[in-house]
Chain A
Amino acid sequence: MRRGTALSVLALTVAALVASPTDASARRAKKKKAPARSRTAAAASFDPRLPILGTKLAEFPAGPAKAVADQACLACHSVDIVGQQRLTEKQWGAELTKMAGWGADFPADRREELLGYLVKNFGPDAAPWEPVVTRPTGR
């Protein structure tokens, strides 16, 4: 659970940094009784329906090895960077070896299962990956 808490705090920190200052001014404007329409429009320099960068996080696809992938990968980076790879079994094997060396936390006896999961979901023939469209960053 400590990791979950740490990730939530991290997400908030990132959100605070990437949120545009106009976010805060827009919130302040909302609190006022009758914000002038033109002022509100001037404050919005982006589509406010878009998520703040770093707050919309994908999940690994369902499967028996999802929990292993969660534990191995998500302490250091989001699902995005895994989800956009289209690697062969050999390439995924090399990635797992590199990441294990760098501290990825997964039981050695579940390596093959994790490898199969990555190849199945993020192999050369997987559907194209699309990035998340977000707001501009803060200044």
Chain B
Amino acid sequence: MKKTPESVDVVSMDRRRFLALAGVAALVPGAALSAVTDSIPIARRRMLQLNGYAIDAETPLDALTTYLTPNDLFFVRHHWNPQYPGHKGWSLTVDGEVERPLRLTAQDLRRLPRTTVTCVLQCAGNGRALYNPFVPGVQWKYGAVGNARWTGVRVRDLLEQAGMKPAGRHLHTFGSDRPPVRTPPFHRSVEIEKIMADAIVADEMNGEPLPALHGGPARLVVPGWAGDHWTKWLERLSVASEAQKGFYMETAYRYPKVPGAPGVPVPPAETRPVTELFVKSNVTEAPARARVGAPALLRGFAFSGTPDVGRVEVSDDDGQSWQPADLDPQHDPWAWRLWSFRWSPKAAGRSTLYVRATDGAGAVQPREAAWNPSGYLYNGWHSASIEVDA
């Protein structure tokens, strides 16, 4: 544990680099992230701790009001207490079914062609607490999700540089976090088609060096796919002909091929890996009270693993009829889309307003999310309850 000074160093170095980058950001339109951060009121700038160690923390919905989620308000999900690698001595190995294995330092990575993708990162288990019957696991409600600008190197470029052999069908990913005692390691793999299409090794998050809490020096970014694929503290990528084995591939992070009745177990053979995020929307701001005839403003975000969000709608009659919400002009294929809706209350009393999103493939957010034994990919309708005065 004498690594503490090194860990502190990571934070202070990030701070120094952030200050240097902030100067650059001021010159680049749309990159002034501190302004984004500052637009969230101080009273909302807080986190909800779901596990003191290993750290799991979600963002309160009322702090998820900006297109880019600030790094210090982005949800944190650690399987166990990681050994933060720091930048000194860190390297990324690319090996397996390749002609020329690579070993890249943080500096090497920064010299390669850079790319940026703005997209949602959502924990596969976000919303688990909303399933009934109860599902064991971290009881995430709404905020294990955020939208960020990830910058780094295309994995495709790394694999082309290494000379991937035709036998390569899966990319095995390894982080430097080591499990305690006999807990199985968090070893994962992603199909090579998805990797070659759009995965990146990111060492920057929202224009800052990727924070250690979020997997720095570098993590995998798999746009549109759940967070279990986004290996943190990345240290090795290995090309293989078969998918990785082990608890976190064969037991965890699996979803029923055909969801069954709530509470009923599903045999492993009838499950598939969790991959693309389901279409989903949430309300982040709504008044607790309103008056008949005076419009009330609701805001929120919507996203899908299938680009892009096509439509967000609000219903004030229990889903009988829907009115379109306004979509914010800012959008990227796998990013979330901020929406707003001006509601005119017609009668006094308590009203429940439901929101639902529809994605580019026409998938409509369902009223009830399909219960599944591990509580993944919750996407049932979210609502706001408003007391209307006459």
Contact A134 B42 (CB under 8 A): no
Interface residues of B in 2-18 (CB under 8 A from A): 3-4, 7-8, 10-12, 14-15, 18
Contact of A54 with B139 at beta-carbon distance under 8 Å, contacts A17-B11, A103-B183 already known? no
Contact B84 A17 (CB under 8 A): yes
What residues on A are CB-neighbors of B55 within 8 Å? 14, 18, 53-54
Instruction: Give Cα A84 to B128, complex, Å.
Output: 12
What residues on A are CB-neighbors of B80 within 8 Å? 76-77
Q: Mark B206-225, 1 if CB is under 8 A from A, else 0.
A: 00100111000000000000
Contact A76 B72 (CB under 8 A): no
What residues on A are CB-neighbors of B71 within 8 Å? 137, 139
Verify if A9 is at the interface (C-beta below 8 Å from B).
yes
Interface residues of A in 72-86 (CB under 8 A from B): 75-81, 84-86
Contact of A77 with B51 at beta-carbon distance under 8 Å, contacts A138-B72, A139-B14 already known? yes
The answer, among B54, B181, B208, B212, for a CB contact under 8 Å with A103, is: B181
Instruction: Give Cα A56 to B48, complex, Å.
Output: 12
- Shortest CB-to-CB span from B266 to chain A, Å, is 15
What residues on A are CB-neighbors of B3 within 8 Å? 13
What residues on A are CB-neighbors of B84 within 8 Å? 17
Contact A10 B73 (CB under 8 A): no
What residues on A are CB-neighbors of B47 within 8 Å? 53, 133-137
Contact B136 A132 (CB under 8 A): no
The answer, among A10, A102, A133, for a CB contact under 8 Å with B53, is: A10
Verify if A97 is at the interface (C-beta below 8 Å from B).
no
Verify if B49 is at the interface (C-beta below 8 Å from A).
yes
Contact B136 A95 (CB under 8 A): yes
Q: Mark B41-57, 1 if CB is under 8 A from A, else 0.
A: 01101111111111111
Verify if B134 is at the interface (C-beta below 8 Å from A).
yes
Instruction: Give Cα A87 to B11, complex, Å.
Output: 39
Contact B212 A17 (CB under 8 A): yes
Contact A50 B46 (CB under 8 A): yes
Contact of A58 with B211 at beta-carbon distance under 8 Å, contacts A102-B181, A129-B139, A139-B18 already known? no
Q: Mark A1-44, 1 if CB is under 8 A from B, else 0.
A: 00000110111111011111100000000000000000000001
Contact B76 A16 (CB under 8 A): no
Contact of A133 with B48 at beta-carbon distance under 8 Å, contacts A16-B11, A20-B72, A78-B53 already known? yes
Verify if A131 is at the interface (C-beta below 8 Å from B).
yes
- Shortest CB-to-CB span from B182 to chain A, Å, is 4
Contact A14 B53 (CB under 8 A): yes
- Shortest CB-to-CB span from A16 to chain B, Å, is 5
Contact of A135 with B51 at beta-carbon distance under 8 Å, contacts A16-B4, A103-B180, A103-B181 already known? no
- Shortest CB-to-CB span from A82 to chain B, Å, is 10
- Shortest CB-to-CB span from A91 to chain B, Å, is 6
What residues on A are CB-neighbors of B261 within 8 Å? none
- Shortest CB-to-CB span from B80 to chain A, Å, is 6
Contact A12 B4 (CB under 8 A): yes
Contact A84 B53 (CB under 8 A): no
Verify if B115 is at the interface (C-beta below 8 Å from A).
no
Instruction: Give Cα A75 to B181, complex, Å.
Output: 10
Interface residues of B in 111-162 (CB under 8 A from A): 134, 136, 138-139
Contact A102 B183 (CB under 8 A): yes
Q: Mark A39-61, 1 if CB is under 8 A from B, else 0.
A: 00000111100100111111000
- Shortest CB-to-CB span from A2 to chain B, Å, is 11
What residues on A are CB-neighbors of B46 within 8 Å? 46-47, 50, 133-136
Contact of A58 with B134 at beta-carbon distance under 8 Å, contacts A46-B46, A102-B181, A139-B71 already known? no
Give 20 CB contacts A-B under 8 Å: A10-B81, A14-B53, A18-B55, A19-B11, A46-B46, A76-B180, A77-B51, A77-B53, A78-B53, A80-B56, A81-B50, A81-B138, A102-B184, A103-B182, A103-B183, A131-B48, A136-B45, A136-B46, A139-B18, A139-B208
Q: List residues of chain B with CB under 8 Å of any chain A CB.
A: 1, 3-4, 7-8, 10-12, 14-15, 18, 37-38, 42-43, 45-58, 70-74, 76, 80-81, 84, 134, 136, 138-139, 179-184, 208, 211-213
Additional pairs, 16, CB under 8 Å, beyond known A17-B7, A84-B139: A10-B1, A16-B7, A16-B11, A18-B55, A46-B42, A46-B46, A47-B42, A57-B53, A75-B180, A76-B81, A77-B51, A102-B181, A103-B180, A132-B48, A136-B46, A136-B47
